[in-house]
A and B are shown apart, each in its own frame.
Chain A
Amino acid sequence: MWGFTWTKLHMPKWFTPAAIVCGLMFAASPLLIANADYEATMGLVQKIFYYHMPSASMFLISGIVCGIASAFYLFGGNPRYDRVAWSAAELAVLFGIITLITGPLWARKAWGTWWLWDVRLTASLMGWMISVAYLLVRRYGGAGSDKLAAGLALFGMANVPFIYISVNYWRTIHPPTSVVPTLPASMGVPLWFCFAAFLLLFIILLTLRLHLEDQRARVDALHLALED
């Protein structure tokens, strides 16, 4: 099923222990979430929060990483940054889809509807669509698509602060950012534990995905060497 030989991957030394720790954290997270207090008005469904908020954060972090790497690539020309941007864009799509599915599942019970054209939700959908557009441009854009996609990534990054602050500046049904710092320990500890697990997972997936791009670059170099 995995399709590759682990020992031939040549990953950094920290990679395997980090992957084990991350797996253990994900295995332990349901215990912490189950023992967390219920929220007074939303009850059981509020526990979606413990995976929804970290995945949404990783979605935004992926957008920032993709944007910064794209800026370095556009203005510096180092192809390594382009590979980082491509890897981060794929993770933005992954964590974005998780956020956009878990959010409506929570909203259906908490708000009585699957979706609202609320600023936070709409901006998040736009951010996700920019990430999908990035991948489509890279896949089907042909020659020069790397620069075009890098420009797109800058717009994706510009959308990130807008998504984050939207709940504080507009009248919206989505909980504001002030909810997280004011959480009691019974809810804060599971949340930050899950956040750490997702952050570690993000770093692992980014490293793995970047390794794939590096290997693809190596294949291109080997093809050129054979042709010479």
Chain B
Amino acid sequence: MKRILAIVVLGIVCAMPAAAQSGGAPQQPQRQDEFVPISQLPPQDQLPAAPLLISAYIVVLLALFAYLVSVSRRLGAVQREVERLEGDLKRSGRA
């Protein structure tokens, strides 16, 4: 019995590569030896517009916001410097 079972298992193991080759498993894509140009992309490959549109508007708003934050921080620093210098000037009695 054990000998029969061993022969069956060995037969299955030997037959597996042949079964895989005959189409049971997905085939690997064929190697491309040349590039063939086409004038238009097929519809399934065409780039969707929405991400580009949304990205453009996000870029605009982020750039403007970042610039506003940058200017306001610089203004804050200068404002504090002016207050400090005016205080020094008052204390020195030259204001």
Contact = CB atoms under 8 A, between A and B. Distances in A.
Interface of A: 1-5, 8-9, 30, 43-45, 47-48, 51-52, 55, 94, 97-98, 101-102, 105-106, 108-109, 201, 205, 208-209, 211-212, 215-216, 218-219, 222-223, 225-226, 228
Contacts of A209: 71
B22 to A, nearest CB: 42
A212 B71 contact: yes
Interface residue SS majority, chain A: helix
B47 A205 contact: no
Contacts of A30: 57
Given A3-B75, A51-B57, A219 B49 contact: no
A125 B55 CA distance: 20
Given A51-B56, A201-B64, A9 B82 contact: no
B56 A52 contact: yes
A109 to B, nearest CB: 5
Contact of A108 (B52, B86, B89): B52
Interface residue SS majority, chain B: helix
Q: Give the 8 A-B residue pairs with the shortest CB-CB distance, closest first.
A: A3-B76, A4-B76, A45-B49, A222-B85, A44-B49, A3-B73, A2-B72, A215-B78
A216 B76 CA distance: 11
A44 B76 CA distance: 41
A216 B78 contact: yes
Interface string B20-63: 00000000000000000000000000010110110111011001
Given A51-B60, A97-B63, A212 B82 contact: no
B76 A215 contact: no
29 contacts: A1-B72, A2-B76, A3-B75, A3-B76, A3-B77, A4-B79, A5-B79, A43-B49, A45-B52, A45-B53, A47-B53, A94-B63, A94-B67, A98-B60, A101-B63, A105-B52, A105-B55, A108-B47, A109-B47, A109-B49, A209-B71, A211-B75, A212-B75, A215-B79, A216-B78, A218-B82, A219-B85, A226-B89, A228-B94
A134 B23 CA distance: 67
A226 B88 contact: yes
Interface of B: 47, 49-50, 52-53, 55-57, 59-60, 63-64, 67-69, 71-79, 81-82, 85-86, 88-89, 92, 94
A216 B80 CA distance: 11
A98 B73 contact: no
Contacts of B82: 215, 218-219, 222
B86 to A, nearest CB: 7
A129 B73 CA distance: 25
A209 B79 CA distance: 13
Contact of A226 (B69, B78, B79, B92): B92
Nearest to B61: A26
B76 A225 contact: no
A170 B58 CA distance: 32
